[in-house]
Structure 1
Amino acid sequence: MSLDQQYANSTEHGFQPTCDLAALKARAKLYTQIRQFFAAREVLEVETPVVSQAAVTDVHLASITVKRHLGGQAYTHYLQTSPEFPMKRLLASGSGPIYQICKVFRDDEHGRKHNSEFTMLEWYRPGLSLQGLMHEVADLLNLVLAERLGEVRPMILSYKEAFIQRLDINPLQASLAELKQSACRVGLDLDLGDDRLGYIDLLFSHMVEPSLGFDTPVFLTDFPPEMASLAKVKLDEDGEQVAARFELYIEGLELANAYDELIDADVLAGRFAADNAERAARGLTEMPVDHYLLAALPHMSECSGIALGIDRLLMVIQKQMQLAKVISFPADIA
């Protein structure tokens, strides 16, 4: 009996994975391609801790807590939502360009495109602009998606342009009332109170995002400044403040998120504090700030960085609509 037949027959015994053997082989091939890609460019593969005493403060992300003992004393620590913080500490210590393939965790994220444990490719390029990083991402896509899409030439579209094309509204300037009217006009008449950013996100997730990246992959750039997270803020060509970041979309699916990395520790500390204040206002747990990261930032050079979802990339490669079809055991049967 072949391995493929043995794998298929596992369904009779009730222990079967949700993906087929072809998906496992595609994942193994993808990892090999990624490692060869970065080795050729002399980008160093690194490994950092999965568990940390600090956690992300973003109000839209929920960390998974773990209990562990250090020196006989019990602590509440956190599974990483991204390897970003320790990787930046390596950059500040002089590592040069680095990448990592690792597991990351986000509590209560489940669905067609989500699982609370997933695989991320994250890499950082000191001295490289966001434009340069886009070129590198395009090169990687043309390697791993060649059989699926042929040669791809991603287009660049600003967040503002995407809204104007789809909804005829500028999200950088629109008032709360205008955003509410726009939401009602397209049948999204939810009451989000005075949460202006909430209405922008509602319109984006339901009306803009699903249309992105079907003709060719799209780099969506220049997000509202409130969405800067760990990115710098700059002025766009119209003199409006925007976050210096981009996201990659293919066939309506967000695959990657990139920043022109903020290296001002004081500004970042202020953002962490603002996040925790917002958490308190929403009744969420305030998260411990990573002071090691803040201490490292002044020693970090100008840098661009990106996080790419391996599982979602495999969805594109394998023409799958469900994340479960490209991972072995989702959280509900892990």
Structure 2
Amino acid sequence: MTCDPDGFLPSVSCEMLRLRAEVLQAIRSVFAAEGYWEVETPLLSQETIIDAHLQPVVVRLEGLPPLYLQTSPELGMKRLLVAGAEAIFQVTRAFRACEQGARHNPEFTMVEWYRVGDSYFDQMAFTQRLVQAAATAAAESAWFERLCGRSRPEDCRSYFGRDFGRLRYDEAFERLAGERVLGRDVSALARLAARAGLSVPDSLHADDIDGWLNLLFVELIEPHLGRERPVFVYDYPETQAALARLRRDDSPVAERFELYLRGIEVCNGYQELTDAQAIRQRFEEQQDLRQRAGWPTLPLPRRFLAAHEAGLPFCAGVALGLDRLMMAIVEAESLADVMAFPFDRA
């Protein structure tokens, strides 16, 4: 192997990068076969999604207001839907400050798509087809066995080849933690954490119900998801809707899903919220949460809101992390095992 004292070489072999390219080619082929067309939207914009849990990378150019590297291409892609696009996808770079670790990199590859007329259940089915095609392409590659010492092609085909499971958020808690949590107050969630022997961080406020739900989910539920086969978790708490539509059941839920592969969350899908006034209200709520957490406020995305006021059609959308998908396919331990230049080599 070439000596690399200056760290100029990629963190993975060219064979891994070729396998990644074959997976990406298979993904593009599925989109083309199912009537999607590829689009491009700005990486650098005057607007950004306002989310209490996502910190955009700010770019400052002389004489201009702050600009933002996009945390996802959602802003531009939904404007295209309003303009008349019906089935679109994008393979792009996304940027999120303050995210670095085995499953996080400040810059990563995102595959995002939307289809007018689809429900989020339709998109679960499409996501299964897409991920299965990607895994099949990897398993059939000449590079797979050479690179994946922990997994044989037949093991990959077996894991990804079966129907993906579907589990409601509350059912996941009942099955894996012994009780449901939707509609429960913070004291009930705290008791569940205590019975499970969880260590509660000092930063978790007593009235932060989402914080408690996230603690319980990450510690008690997530590590067990997608171990025997891929599984969708869907119908999340209404407080975790982001820009997903709400359904007013006995316990209101957000019509969104996440796909888990071997304990790794790889994508997020929404029945998209189309009500411009409701979106504005959610942005204001997220802005308030950002201020409480000490994060800087962000400008309202006015063009995005104007597009919704003009009329976003009924649609569903999904954002998938390509790097995490590669991790799951080759059973890697870190993003650095599947990308050329992670942050410490960028």
TM-score tier by shorter-chain length is over 0.9
Name stretches of at least 5 consecutive residues in structure 1 with no aligned partner: 1-7
Supply the AA of the counterpart residue of 1:306. Answer: V
Q: Which residue pairs with 1:58 in the alignment? A: 51
1:245 to 235, 244, 256: 256
Q: Once the 2 structures are TM-superposed, how far is the Cα of residue 26 of structure 1 from its aligned partner?
A: 1.3
Q: Please list, as runs of the form range in 1=range in 2, the aligned pairs for 1:198-213 lying within 5 A after superposition.
A: 198-213=211-226
TM-score norm. by structure 2 comes to 0.90
Query: What is the aligned partner in structure 1 of residue 171 from structure 2?
Result: 161
1:19 is aligned to: 12
Letter in 2 for 1:157: L
- Partner amino acid for 1:295? A
Tell me which residue corresponds to 1:287: 298
How many residues are treated as equivalent by the alignment? 322
Q: Corresponding residue for 1:258?
A: 269
Q: 2:209 corresponds to which residue? A: 196
Preserved contact between residue 26 and residue 314 of structure 1 (Cα < 8 Å): no
1:16 Cα deviation after fit: 2.1
Shift of 1:173: 2.0
Aligned partners of 2:44 and 2:67 also within 8 Å:
yes
* CA drift at 1:12: 6.4
Q: Counterparts of 1:278 and 1:56 in 2: how far apart (Å)?
A: 14
Does the CA-based 8 Å contact 1:156-1:218 persist in structure 2?
Answer: yes
CA deviation string 1:233-278 (max 9, x = no partner):
0034xx3200000000010000000000000000000000111112
Alignment of 1:1-334 (within 5 A): 8-9=1-2, 11=4, 14-69=7-62, 73-146=63-136, 147=139, 148-150=156-158, 151-190=161-200, 191=202, 192=204, 193-236=206-249, 239-297=250-308, 298-334=310-346
Structure-2 separation of matches of 1:175 and 1:89:
38
Name the CA shift for 1:235/1:216 in 2 (closer, same or farther; >3 Å). Answer: farther
8 A Cα contact 1:160 1:172, kept in partner: yes
CA apart distance, 1:314 = 0.7
Gaps in structure 2 of 5+ consecutive residues: 140-155
What is the SS of the residue equivalent to 1:215? coil
Give identity over the alignment, percent: 39
RMSD in angstroms over aligned alpha carbons?
Answer: 1.4
2:124 partner SS: helix
